[in-house]
Amino acid sequence: MSLREHLYELRHRLGLAILALLVGCIAGFLWFQWWIGPIPSLGHLLTGPYCALPAGVRFEPIPGKCQLLQTQPFEAFLIQFKVGLAAGAVLTSPFWLYQIWAFITPGLYDNERKFTRIFVILATILFACGAVLAYFVVPKGLQVLVSFGGDQFITALAANEYISFVLVMLLIFGVSFELPLLITMLNRIGVLPYRNLARWRRGIIFALFVFAAVATPGTDPIGMLALAGAMTVLFEVAVQIARIHDRKKDQQAVAEGWGDPEDYDLKPENVPDEPAAKPKSETPAGFDDVT
């Protein structure tokens, strides 16, 4: 394809991706208020952590009814639009990700296509797991935060600030759960060998706790500990994957005669048998191989 044809193809793919996002945004906007069979509405799901607080610490103008506080005109509409856009992007992600995939696939080899497909699937699963964990962590974090006021305060959360808090928590947890995938990728291409990961393990774990303390909004100790603990476990899983990968690569290098077992810290029993020596040439004395 010529450069012009590539640009036309890019425009076509981007147009379809944007159209899918618009359709998803409309669906998410409507889903904010309506239940879909047994599936709760987005508004019900997002207000769930706030409504899980004890009734004595929540501001309830209407007894028994859990509501957020709207402080500006059209705030509810803008919040519903923002949440609908985020939900639509998630719901239609298979379609617009496919458009990106279809644009870059012709320039990849077969093994690269397979690797990229696995990467996208794992990235989606890890992000969803992080978002689900965040959804269950937010109520506990809110209970801790509102408990500091004692009986002198009552919680009346503004809708915009609360929804932004929940969405940021979902995003931070989801992106943070991509850590093992990133480490595995860097290890596969030789940027982060297992030796370095093992040497830097304590420093990296300390850095993960610092990141969790800075990234979680609202100085929430429960969210910080949950995020740091989950990232530490995922980091250790990635380290062990890198260990297995590097051990196999080192054994293969020794078997092919590219290195010494001591250089790779391989045990003798793990080193494959050396290939049988080739028989010496029976070329008569005084003649070389070419002759």
- Residue 276 CA: distances (Å) to CA of 96, 136, 252, 261, 273: 54, 60, 16, 18, 9
The whole-model pTM stands at 0.73
Q: Using CB atoms within 10 A of its CB, is residue 93 exposed (0-12), middle (13-18) or buried (19+)? A: middle
Q: Report helix, strand and coil shares of the chain as percent, to nearest 5.
A: 70, 0, 25
Q: How far apart are the C-alpha atoms of 81 and 74, rounded to whole Å?
A: 11
Give the start-to-end residue ranges of the domains of the chain: 1-174, 178-271
pLDDT digits (tens, 9 = 90+) for 109-163: 777 677 777 888 888 888 889 988 988 888 887 777 777 766 677 777 788 888 8
How many other β-carbons are positioned within 10 Å of the β-carbon of residue 134? 27
Kindly state the percentage of the chain with pLDDT values over 90.
Answer: 16
* CB of 179 closer than 8 Å to CB of 238: yes
Q: What pLDDT, on the 0 to 100 scale, is given for residue 139?
A: 82
**What are all long-range contacts of 260-266, with beta carbons under 8 Å and residues at least 24 apart?**
none
**63 φ/ψ angles, rounded to the nearest 5 degrees:** -55, 135
pLDDT digits (tens, 9 = 90+) for 41-89: 888 888 888 888 777 677 777 777 888 888 888 888 888 888 888 888 8
Check residue 191 and report its DSSP letter.
Answer: S
Amino acid at 25: C
Q: How far apart are the C-alpha atoms of 43 and 38, rounded to whole Å?
A: 14
Q: What pLDDT, on the 0 to 100 scale, is given for residue 219?
A: 62
Confidence of residue 291 (pLDDT cuts 50, 70, 90): very low
How many other β-carbons are positioned within 10 Å of the β-carbon of residue 183? 21
Check residue 90 and report its DSSP letter.
Answer: H
